[in-house]
């Protein structure tokens, strides 16, 4: 059996690593894995298909910022991908993020509707449901339930600086998806599945498969990073890119309220944030793609704090718990589904800094000896990637009428 996955990036970031790990599982069972992606492509066990070029992505991004739509130029890369799909003839086409300035979505989806083979589409965010944005929580927008127009988040990713094309985008996306009789959605959380069921796409088959993590990599480390050997209680914050949606503005406030007995460390800072946070006494560290390095930070912390304001799930929560460190997070999207019990984490009202600080202190003062063991046992039982990726293979087999 041949499986082709399509994603913006290759073996990079959360979605890229997920596609890579699914591909490795496919290969381990004696089948063939292809991954088609546009940029940030790292070494892969799968056969990589490069989509378009970096100049093309840049032009498409510029077009998006002006006209709020996929550029006509993107059709060239998309048609080249379609020719490759036809030559490979995969048994399953598995979509991940098709936004990211590298595809002409209507061209691809129209082809897949006629392709005749099963299509699996993992929903890592809410973009499929809208005419523009990837999330609508912060804006409190409900237009996606009926018909997007006059988008309140026009300048949110994928940003448009001038035109608002959300009405036409929404209609085109709905028409394309509803025409795909061979499509199965895979939301990564029950929260996201609930949103699909409230949308005009509710008629589509939808199966939840939570993301998994590598519990053999994300495990308790014995030696703390140097910045955490300070004689204080250590609180960790991690994100790939820090901004308003990840709750960056809450980090200094939390640090201030925790006081001098606590040391806060933030991983994923850009150059501007490095300067801002260091001036506030917060350890700021640039993004790292090293899982072992991240595991050391998770392990060295007494508590992991996640102030994200919108999220479909939360792999950083799972990674922290797997490293034996409890989590305090806001009640945002599907984040709560990564906190199986109050022993491994606490969920507070979104934006309630005082409640978050109280729970951080409660965990920190309790110590990690008992809590750390419970966290680790919970992660091994519930978050191991082999369970998640095995479910994808079961789905492939069901859709294709074969046994893996």
Which CATH class, in words, describes the domain spanning 226-382? Answer: alpha beta
User: Can you give the pLDDT at residue 367?
Assistant: 87
Q: Are 305 and 282 in contact (CB under 8 A)?
A: no
Helix ranges, 5-53 (H): 13-28
d(C-alpha 9, C-alpha 38), whole Å:
6
User: Can you give the pLDDT at residue 160?
Assistant: 94
Task: Count Cβ neighbours within 10 Å for each residue of 242-253 and write b for 16 or more, e otherwise.
Answer: beebbbbebbbe
User: Can you give the pLDDT at residue 323?
Assistant: 98
User: Can you give the pLDDT at residue 236?
Assistant: 98
Q: Are 155 and 143 in contact (CB under 8 A)?
A: no
* Residue 214 backbone dihedrals phi, psi, to 5 degrees: -85, 95
Rama region for 281: left / alpha / beta (φ>0; ψ in -120 to 50; rest): left
Closest-CA residue to 164 (of 153, 177, 174, 172): 153
Task: Count Cβ neighbours within 10 Å for each residue of 207-223 and write b for 16 or more, e otherwise.
Answer: ebbbbbbbbeebbbbee
d(C-alpha 377, C-alpha 250), whole Å:
30
d(C-alpha 99, C-alpha 77), whole Å:
14
d(C-alpha 282, C-alpha 294), whole Å:
17
CA distances from 383 to 48, 166, 213, 339 (A): 27, 36, 6, 11
Residue range(s) of every CATH 3.40.50.2000 domain in the chain: 2-212+385-400, 226-382
CB-CB neighbours of 34 under 10 Å: 22
| Helices 54-67/74-88 angle, 10° precision | 130
User: Can you give the pLDDT at residue 403?
Assistant: 56
Q: Which residues contact 59 (CB under 8 A, 6 or more apart)?
A: 71, 73
Closest-CA residue to 45 (of 25, 71, 61): 25
Which CATH class, in words, describes the domain spanning 2-212+385-400? Answer: alpha beta
CB-CB neighbours of 226 under 10 Å: 9
d(C-alpha 52, C-alpha 39), whole Å:
9
User: Can you give the pLDDT at residue 222?
Assistant: 85
- Each of the 404 residues of the chain gets a pLDDT tens digit; together they read 999 999 999 999 899 999 999 999 999 999 999 999 999 999 999 999 999 999 999 999 999 999 999 999 999 999 999 999 999 999 999 999 999 999 999 999 999 999 999 999 999 999 999 999 999 988 999 999 999 999 999 999 999 999 999 999 999 999 999 999 999 999 999 999 999 999 999 999 999 999 999 999 999 998 899 999 999 999 999 999 999 999 999 999 999 999 999 999 999 999 999 999 999 999 999 999 899 999 999 999 999 999 999 999 999 999 999 999 999 999 999 999 999 999 999 999 999 999 999 999 999 999 898 999 999 999 999 999 989 999 999 999 999 987 54
Closest-CA residue to 326 (of 290, 302, 352, 292): 302
Judging by beta carbons within 10 Å of its beta carbon (0-12, 13-18, 19+), is residue 370 exposed, middle or buried? exposed
Regarding pTM above 0.85, the answer is yes
């Amino acid at each position: 059996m041949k499986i082709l996955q399509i994603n913006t990036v290759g073996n990079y970031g959360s979605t890229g690593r997920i596609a890579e790990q699914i591909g490795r599982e496919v290969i381990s069972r004696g089948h063939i894995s292809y991954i088609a992606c546009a940029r940030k492509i790292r070494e892969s066990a799968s056969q990589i298909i490069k989509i378009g070029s970096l100049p093309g992505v840049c032009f498409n991004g510029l077009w998006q910022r002006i006209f709020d739509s996929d550029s006509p130029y993107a059709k060239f890369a998309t048609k080249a991908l379609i020719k490759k799909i036809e030559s490979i003839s995969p048994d399953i086409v598995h979509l991940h993020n098709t936004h990211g300035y590298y595809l002409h979505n209507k061209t691809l989806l129209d082809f897949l509707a006629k392709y005749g083979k099963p299509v699996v589409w993992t929903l890592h965010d809410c973009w499929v449901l809208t005419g523009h944005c990837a999330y609508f929580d912060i804006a409190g927008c409900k237009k996606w339930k009926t018909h997007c127009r006059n988008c309140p988040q026009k300048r949110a990713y994928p940003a448009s600086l001038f035109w608002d094309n959300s009405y036409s985008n929404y209609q085109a996306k709905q028409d394309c998806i509803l025409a795909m009789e061979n499509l199965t959605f895979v939301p990564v959380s029950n929260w996201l599945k609930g949103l699909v069921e409230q949308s005009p796409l509710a008629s589509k088959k939808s199966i939840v498969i939570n993301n998994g993590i590598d519990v053999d990599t994300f495990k308790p480390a014995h030696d703390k990073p140097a910045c955490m050997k300070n004689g204080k209680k250590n609180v960790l914050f991690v994100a790939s890119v820090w901004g308003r949606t990840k709750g960056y503005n809450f980090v200094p406030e939390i640090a201030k309220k925790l006081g001098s007995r606590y040391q806060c460390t933030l991983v994923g800072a850009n150059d501007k944030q490095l300067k801002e946070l260091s001036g506030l006494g917060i350890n700021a560290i640039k993004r790292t793609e090293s899982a072992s390095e991240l595991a050391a930070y998770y392990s060295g912390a007494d508590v992991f704090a996640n102030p994200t304001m919108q999220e479909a799930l939360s792999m950083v929560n799972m990674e922290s718990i797997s490293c034996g460190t409890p989590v305090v997070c806001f009640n945002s999207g599907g984040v709560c589904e990564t906190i199986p019990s109050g022993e491994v984490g606490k969920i507070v009202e979104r934006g309630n800094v005082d409640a978050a600080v109280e729970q951080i202190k409660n965990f920190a003062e309790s110590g990690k000896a008992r809590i750390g063991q419970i966290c680790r046992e919970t992660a091994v039982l519930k978050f191991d990637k082999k369970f998640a990726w095995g479910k994808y293979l079961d789905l492939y087999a069901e859709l294709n009428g074969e046994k893996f």
